[in-house]
Structure 1
């Protein structure tokens, strides 16, 4: 109970402090909007341009400064909610850290381990956090995510609704470092029924030319085992690989073939098979981990009566092939490894 009271008090105190600087908060986190009288007007709490959301900038008989309402959706909240959603934060501790950073408040001293209660609530469910993260993101068209993929020769985005972009995605190097806000490519991880179970983030350089210059520019969250980032709906044929760029590269010449990115070699070996699957193409990475995952996956597929065929790149992976040799060479290399009926179905037709 004491922990919950402390959390509630801290939230109230921070919201009050932010309300006293409501216009400055809006100019920083809702920069797509502008002041209209005693309100800040913007599209929504995720900083989309528009006019449907109103943030009260001064105390009034209608309520305190900092309270907001989105007339289009009925959503409402305070400035802590603005920070959470505009910065892509999913845990309360991270919202607090960002609010303190904005207000130039010192970080509280960590509580000694001996005083921590065994009943302290666990962090919120990461699968739900992943769903909120993806919802708060936007389509990749015209964003740094599109630039990033384009620099990797990926320019065809048919069936890539699983990819989105967030311009201000929270990044923290470790538990003891300050929070950072960086643009990110966000991918939805889904199960066989299409329900989102997790998310994958690739933080990007400020100009989208490469991944962010941080120690771990890629991270996943949520329930990943058996699931993946899906491009197209699989039936009897599916192609699977490790990384998002590795899988998107063959899709430049096979845009109608359903594909899945498992996000790592270990998760590739453990993917769940669609009930109707009869033929599985495994996009190989030329490294020991990739070979081990391929062998394990091929054996599992065979035990389910599924024919598994390895597709082998010329270079280290298929994105290396696409960037180094071009679309025509990649198409020719894949045509020589696919079943003739799949060439006609997915390439020639």
Structure 2
């Protein structure tokens, strides 16, 4: 009697029936958390963003909240061990389940000994890929989402502009390590001077009696990937061209945070406007030669010597490159978003 070969769905169901042992075998750096096996992603790194169901009707189903990837148990084998190759994953599953068809299962690609201790460059590249995947998994249009409502609550009405900044997206379930579960988040793309995506900034959101606000976390804003030397390109200004194609004599206004920078956009849409993510990064942003003038949109930090030193460092750096540098401070409040809100009707 000829036995019908096991299909992908059959193998996935058999793996799901043995999911606790399967999880520990495929993702040994993970850990049990309630009814899930948790790890940092399909790269097998320690962490929380990937959740694999261990029990019930969803046993074997997994979801990576950082990238949006999801699938069944066999999909996980393919993603973790065989770079997405389902045929090799099926052969491996037959062998692990001891229901082989007489053919040897392929061995997962092995790293050379020196690659086991991943270099900083490889780690950085992996984080950048994950950051890009997270951003691309977000919703492009933020109007009508919690992100749009959050900005509106800060007085930032994107409808007043010609378009929504392309660097902003909304994610309904962005993993938050601090509380161990996903939250809605506003995402922002961090790029370098060549336009390459190097990181994704997350602002986690929560709803209170007055609408959507920044989530009450210790760190409600964090970056996946890196931001050193990069920036969030929120507005292209009068030229409408990417930074790499900016016309000679271009003027750039640079603020620290997204909300402050967007407030500057609303006030001066003719300017190219960036958010540097952090004051310490302002002096590290790499600009092309076409940018002749830089406006540093500083906060009113009072007598804060550290902030003053970082601002001076940024100004000196751009001046040393032969650019005209101006420092602009808000006439009302701590930052330009305070000024914007002060001007709104009561």
Which TM-score bucket, shorter chain as reference? 0.5 to 0.7
Displacement after TM superposition at 1:202 (Å): 0.6
Matched, 1:8 2:8: no
Aligned to 1:143: 145
Aligned residues of 2:257 and 2:277 also touching (Cα < 8 A):
yes
Instruction: Go from structure 1 to structure 2 and tell me whether the alpha carbon gap of 1:238 and 1:119 turns closer, same or farther (over 3 Å shift).
Output: same
1:217 alignment counterpart = 220
- Residue 193 of structure 1, CA deviation: 1.3
* Helix, strand or coil at the partner of 1:213: coil
Per-residue CA distance 1:223-277 (angstroms, 9 max, x = gap): 2111110022343111001011010001112223211101111111211112201
1:184 counterpart SS class:
strand
Q: Which residue of 2 aligns with 1:194?
A: 195
Q: Distance in 1 between matches of 2:52 and 2:341?
A: 52
1:239 to 253, 264, 268: 253
Residue equivalent to 2:324:
307
- Corresponding residue of 1:50: none
CA RMSD, 1 decimal = 3.6
Match of residue 177, structure 2, among 166, 172, 179: 172
CA separation in 2, counterparts of 1:6 and 1:67? Answer: 13
Gap regions ≥5 residues in structure 2: 1-22, 31-35, 38-50, 80-114, 237-241
**TM superposition shift of 1:292:** 2.5
CA distance 1:80–1:243, shift in 2 (3 Å): farther
Q: Specify whether residues 145 and 273 from structure 1 end up closer, same or farther in structure 2 by C-alpha distance, changes over 3 A only.
A: same
Displacement after TM superposition at 1:179 (Å): 1.4
For structure 1, list consecutive stretches of 5 or more residues without a partner in the other structure: 30-44, 48-52, 56-65, 69-76, 82-117, 328-349
Return 289-298 or 263-272, whichever deviates more.
Answer: 289-298
Cα-to-partner distance string for 1:12-32 (whole Å, 9 max, x where unaligned)? x96996596139969xx8xxx
User: 1:222 Cα shift?
Assistant: 1.3
Indicate the residue corresponding to 1:271 in structure 2.
285
Query: Could you state the TM-score of these two structures normalised by the residue count of structure 2?
Result: 0.61
Normalising by the residue count of structure 1, what TM-score does the alignment of the two structures yield? 0.61
Aligned length: 243
Q: How does 1:78-117 map to 2 (within 5 A)?
A: none
2:338 matches 1:320: yes
8 A Cα contact 2:26 2:77, kept in partner: no
